[in-house]
Structure 1
Amino acid sequence: MDCYVLISRLAKQIREKRKNRGLTQANLAQLAGLTRQKIIAVEKGSTSIGVIAYARVLGALDCELAVIPAAMPTLEELGGLFE
């Protein structure tokens, strides 16, 4: 499984969880102790963001990572690799 697909999935799940909780990026940034720009980068799936930033965001959303078998990437996810 390509690491970019996995990071993209995580970013999408974080964005969806934030929106479902009714939080703005600024709200989440304050809860996580990060800047809004860092939240934007996390939600874009930036590979330059450290694991600690993802962990702080997940903690602020009362979530955690779970290791599960990977699902095959969708055509949409594969298309994103070539952008």
Structure 2
Amino acid sequence: MDHALIIDRLSKQIREKRTSRGLTQADLADLAGLTRQKVIAVEKGTLSVSMIAYARVLGALDCEFSVIPARMPTLDELGDLF
């Protein structure tokens, strides 16, 4: 599976979790000890963002990584890659 698709899925899940909790990007940045710009980069799925930034954001959202078998990308996800 393409690494960009995995990061895209993770970033979308993070954004959905943040908004479902009623947090702004600035709120999440404060909780995670990051800048708002770094949270924006995480939510955009910027490939240069470090794993520690993802870990801090997930920790601030009371979430963690889970390794599961990959699933085939949807047509929408494939379209976003090109």
Q: Normalising by structure 1, report the TM-score.
A: 0.97
% identity of equivalent residues = 74
Rounded to whole Å, the distance in 1 between the matches of 2:50 and 2:3 is 14
Aligned alpha-carbon RMSD (Å)? 0.4
Please state whether the residue corresponding to 2:29 is helix, strand or coil. helix
- Alignment: residue pair count: 82
AA of the residue aligned to 2:19: K
Q: What CA distance in whole angstroms lies between the structure 1 residues aligned with 2:76 and 2:48?
A: 22
Structure 1 position 81, deviation (Å):
1.1
> In the alignment, what sits opposite 1:73?
73
For residue 74 of structure 1, what is the amino acid of its counterpart? T
Which residue is 1:57 aligned to? 57
Hey, what's the Cα distance between the residues in 2 that align with 1:47 and 1:76? 20
Q: Which residue of 2 aligns with 1:4?
A: 4
Gaps of 5+ in 2: none
Q: Which runs of 5+ in 1 are unaligned?
A: none
Letter in 1 for 2:42: V
Separation in 2, partners of 1:35, 1:76:
30
After TM superposition, the runs of 4+ consecutive aligned structure 1 residues lying more than 4 A away are none
